[in-house]
């Protein structure tokens, strides 16, 4: 089963909490604080696997979580870092942020991409010891790891894409020019998923070709199967447009050629601009010579070269391959899609919101909850540390701008205190 689009959720590990501990040893009075730091949370890492060709595995496993860091302990012992979770994907997979749809990374051979970073471990109380604060009774909790909904989208990496109406001979041609063995039958939509094959043109030249399942009119809007697979053509550098000129099905080659090009252009400007070679297939069994001649004249008037082939008898196939190889030599290599996702900058000031409710100044901010969790409000030094954090982040300046007066009440979640400056 070929799967090329899935949604998953990833969560990096949380950092371990710092420890509050004091050195206790015989004959060592006032040993001082020796709480160690918490370990770092594990990352969520994507790597490419050359043996994978589909995203089928992600249909059954949708959630991935890295290990949490261990808490610190006494004796300045640091907690163990959390275990990374490694996710294998096929070459050519695009990783998008689920909510915005923005591209985070384009996975190429040998890539290693950290999609979600683990949280930092919290500091133990040994970190907060100073000449004036010799016995801190507080430590920092670990930071939460990043968490994302992701969309994985597979776009095959192929130099040449074989396009055309269903049943024009794309799969047959691929089986002739490569070792690929796609399903071949005499009915439309035999091919239900793209097939890749390595084409050896001569001793020094080769390329990868992809048979893209049959496009029909309206494919860009969801008709037929083509709308599922148009994305794979975007990777190609060159298209071989195969047209059935036999007349066996009663179709008009000119109309087929124009319809497929219109669908490509309707899907994206890049597809419309891809260079093409036109191959007139089934020349060994032409039933409507007039339609074939009209198609040849149509292309000649537009200075479009035509390669007459028969995938079954291999007539003209080698000439087509030589032309494709020569054209590829003039084209730039496959380019990676540039990411347009902007990760959050943790160095920016912490944001908070202040509202006045019933004469009380109510302060909210997720980061404040984390800072409050590390404070021992029964300890004077710990309270003073929290006050300095609020002052550093500009909370008191914002309260002054809002007109707070001495004696007014400030509420930060469950904490209420009287403003005195």
Looking at the structure, tell me whether residues 180 and 320 fall in a common domain.
yes
Residue 194 or residue 5, greater confidence: 5
In this predicted structure, which of 187-191, 206-210, 316-320 has the lowest mean pLDDT?
187-191
pLDDT value of position 216: 53
Kindly tell me if the per-residue pLDDT of 213 is higher than 80. Answer: no
Looking at the structure, tell me whether residues 319 and 357 fall in a common domain.
no
Kindly tell me if the per-residue pLDDT of 183 is higher than 70. Answer: no
Nearest to 63 by CA among 105, 127, 139, 12: 12
Q: What is the CATH number of the domain that holds 405?
A: 3.30.300.350
Distance of CA 336 to the CA centre of its chain: 12
Kindly tell me if the per-residue pLDDT of 223 is higher than 50. Answer: no
How big is the chain, counted in residues?
A: 421
Kindly tell me if the per-residue pLDDT of 229 is higher than 80. Answer: no
pTM, entire model: 0.68
Domain containing residue 277 = 160-328
Residue 266 or residue 303, greater confidence: 303
Tens digits of per-residue pLDDT, 55-87? 888 888 899 999 999 999 988 899 999 999 999
pLDDT average, residue stretch 94-123: 90
- CA 230/CA 194 separation, integer angstroms: 10
pLDDT value of position 325: 92
C-alpha distances (whole Å) from 347 to each of 122, 249, 378 are 17, 65, 30
Q: What is the largest CA-CA distance in the chain?
A: 108
Tens digits of per-residue pLDDT, 323-362? 999 999 998 877 777 777 666 554 445 678 889 988 899 9
Looking at the structure, tell me whether residues 90 and 36 fall in a common domain.
yes
In the block, tokens 């907690």 appear at 79
In the block, tokens 């799967």 appear at 3
Tens digits of per-residue pLDDT, 249-278? 778 899 989 988 888 888 778 888 889 999
pLDDT value of position 84: 96
Per-residue pLDDT band for 144 (boundaries 50, 70, 90) equals confident
Looking at the structure, tell me whether residues 138 and 264 fall in a common domain.
no
Distance of CA 98 to the CA centre of its chain: 9
Looking at the structure, tell me whether residues 286 and 395 fall in a common domain.
no
Kindly tell me if the per-residue pLDDT of 27 is higher than 80. Answer: no
Kindly tell me if the per-residue pLDDT of 177 is higher than 60. Answer: yes
Question: Is 340 domain-assigned?
Answer: no
In this predicted structure, which of 148-157, 190-199, 202-211, 236-245 has the lowest mean pLDDT?
190-199
Looking at the structure, tell me whether residues 239 and 287 fall in a common domain.
yes
- CA 402/CA 396 separation, integer angstroms: 10
Question: Is 341 domain-assigned?
Answer: no
Q: How many domains is the chain built from?
A: 3
In the block, tokens 């899907």 appear at 267
Q: What is the CATH number of the domain that holds 175?
A: 3.40.50.300
pLDDT value of position 39: 95
Kindly tell me if the per-residue pLDDT of 320 is higher than 50. Answer: yes
Looking at the structure, tell me whether residues 67 and 165 fall in a common domain.
no
The sign of the torsion formed by the CA atoms of 55, 60, 63, 65 equals: negative
Structure tokens at 261: 């090009």
Per-residue pLDDT band for 191 (boundaries 50, 70, 90) equals very low
pLDDT value of position 165: 83
pLDDT value of position 13: 96
Question: Is 347 domain-assigned?
Answer: no
Looking at the structure, tell me whether residues 151 and 216 fall in a common domain.
no
C-alpha distances (whole Å) from 36 to each of 134, 165, 236, 314 are 16, 67, 54, 73
Per-residue pLDDT band for 110 (boundaries 50, 70, 90) equals confident
Considering the chain, what is the average pLDDT of its residues?
83
The residues, ordered by sequence, that sit 6+ positions from 170 with a Cβ below 8 Å of its Cβ are 162, 163, 164, 191, 211, 212, 214, 242
pLDDT value of position 86: 96
In this predicted structure, which of 46-50, 347-351, 355-359, 389-393 has the lowest mean pLDDT?
347-351
DSSP state of 178: S
pLDDT average, residue stretch 27-54: 88
Question: Is 338 domain-assigned?
Answer: no
Structure tokens at 405: 């007066």
261 and 296 Cβ atoms separated by less than 8 Å: no
153 and 231 Cβ atoms separated by less than 8 Å: yes
Question: Is 137 domain-assigned?
Answer: yes
In this predicted structure, which of 140-154, 173-187, 216-230, 336-350 has the lowest mean pLDDT?
216-230
Tens digits of per-residue pLDDT, 126-140? 888 887 778 888 888
Kindly tell me if the per-residue pLDDT of 294 is higher than 60. Answer: yes
Last residue of a domain, which of 156, 172, 192?
Answer: 156
pLDDT value of position 189: 47
Looking at the structure, tell me whether residues 124 and 35 fall in a common domain.
yes
Last residue of a domain, which of 293, 328, 363?
Answer: 328
Alpha helices in 217-252 (DSSP H): 226-233
- CA 333/CA 235 separation, integer angstroms: 10
Q: What percent of the chain lies above the pLDDT cut of 90?
A: 27
Looking at the structure, tell me whether residues 112 and 236 fall in a common domain.
no
Looking at the structure, tell me whether residues 127 and 8 fall in a common domain.
yes
Distance of CA 210 to the CA centre of its chain: 23
Per-residue pLDDT band for 28 (boundaries 50, 70, 90) equals confident
Last residue of a domain, which of 125, 156, 187?
Answer: 156
pLDDT value of position 1: 47
Structure tokens at 291: 């339609």
pLDDT average, residue stretch 309-323: 91
C-alpha distances (whole Å) from 394 to each of 90, 348, 373 are 47, 13, 20
Nearest to 194 by CA among 220, 171, 169, 219: 171
Question: Is 402 domain-assigned?
Answer: yes
Question: Is 321 domain-assigned?
Answer: yes
pLDDT value of position 391: 86
Nearest to 43 by CA among 23, 72, 68: 68
C-alpha atoms less than 13 angstroms from C-alpha of 201 in its C-beta half-sphere? 18
∠ CA 198-201-204, nearest 5°, is: 100
Looking at the structure, tell me whether residues 16 and 75 fall in a common domain.
yes
C-alpha atoms less than 13 angstroms from C-alpha of 325 in its C-beta half-sphere? 17
**Pairing verdict, β 238-244 and 276-281:** parallel
Q: What is the CATH number of the domain that holds 87?
A: 2.70.210.12
Nearest to 174 by CA among 189, 184, 188, 185: 184
């Amino acid at each position: 089963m070929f799967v090329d689009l899935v949604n998953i959720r990833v969560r990096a590990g949380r950092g371990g909490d710092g420890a509050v501990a004091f050195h206790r040893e015989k004959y060592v009075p006032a040993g001082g604080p020796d709480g160690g730091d918490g370990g770092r949370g594990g990352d969520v890492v994507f790597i490419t696997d050359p043996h994978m060709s589909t995203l089928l595995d992600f249909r059954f496993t949708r959630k991935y979580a890295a290990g949490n860091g261990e808490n610190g302990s006494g004796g300045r012992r640091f907690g163990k870092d959390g275990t990374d979770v490694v996710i294998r994907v096929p070459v050519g997979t695009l990783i998008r942020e689920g909510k915005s749809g923005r591209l985070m990374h384009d996975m190429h051979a040998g890539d290693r991409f950290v999609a979600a970073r683990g949280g930092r471990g919290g500091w133990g109380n040994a970190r907060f010891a100073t000449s004036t604060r010799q016995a801190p009774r507080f430590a920092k909790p670990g930071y939460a790891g990043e968490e994302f909904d992701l969309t994985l989208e597979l776009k095959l990496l192929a130099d040449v894409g074989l396009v055309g109406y269903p049943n024009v001979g794309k799969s047959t041609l691929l089986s002739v020019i490569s070792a690929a063995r796609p399903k071949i039958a005499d009915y439309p939509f035999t091919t239900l998923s793209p097939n890749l094959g390595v084409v050896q043109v001569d001793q020094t030249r080769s390329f990868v070709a992809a048979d893209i399942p049959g496009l029909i009119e309206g494919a860009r809007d969801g008709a037929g199967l083509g709308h599922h697979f148009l994305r794979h053509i975007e990777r190609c550098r060159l298209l071989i447009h195969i047209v059935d000129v036999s007349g066996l099905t009663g179709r008009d080659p000119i109309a087929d050629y124009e319809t497929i090009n219109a669908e490509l252009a309707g899907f994206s400007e890049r597809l419309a601009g891809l260079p093409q070679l036109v191959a007139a297939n089934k020349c060994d069994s032409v039933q409507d010579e007039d339609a074939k001649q009209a198609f040849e004249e149509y292309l000649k008037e537009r200075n479009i070269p035509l390669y007459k082939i028969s995938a079954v008898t291999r007539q003209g196939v080698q000439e087509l391959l030589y032309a494709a190889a020569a054209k590829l030599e003039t084209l730039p290599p496959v380019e990676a899609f540039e990411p347009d996702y902007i990760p959050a900058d943790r160095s920016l000031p912490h944001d908070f919101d202040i509202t006045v409710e019933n004469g009380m100044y109510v302060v909210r901010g997720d980061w404040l909850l984390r800072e409050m969790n590390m404070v021992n409000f029964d300890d004077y030094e710990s309270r003073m540390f929290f006050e300095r954090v609020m002052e550093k982040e500009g909370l008191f300046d914002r309260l002054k701008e809002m007109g707070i007066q001495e004696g007014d009440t400030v509420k930060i979640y469950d904490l209420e205190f009287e403003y005195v400056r």
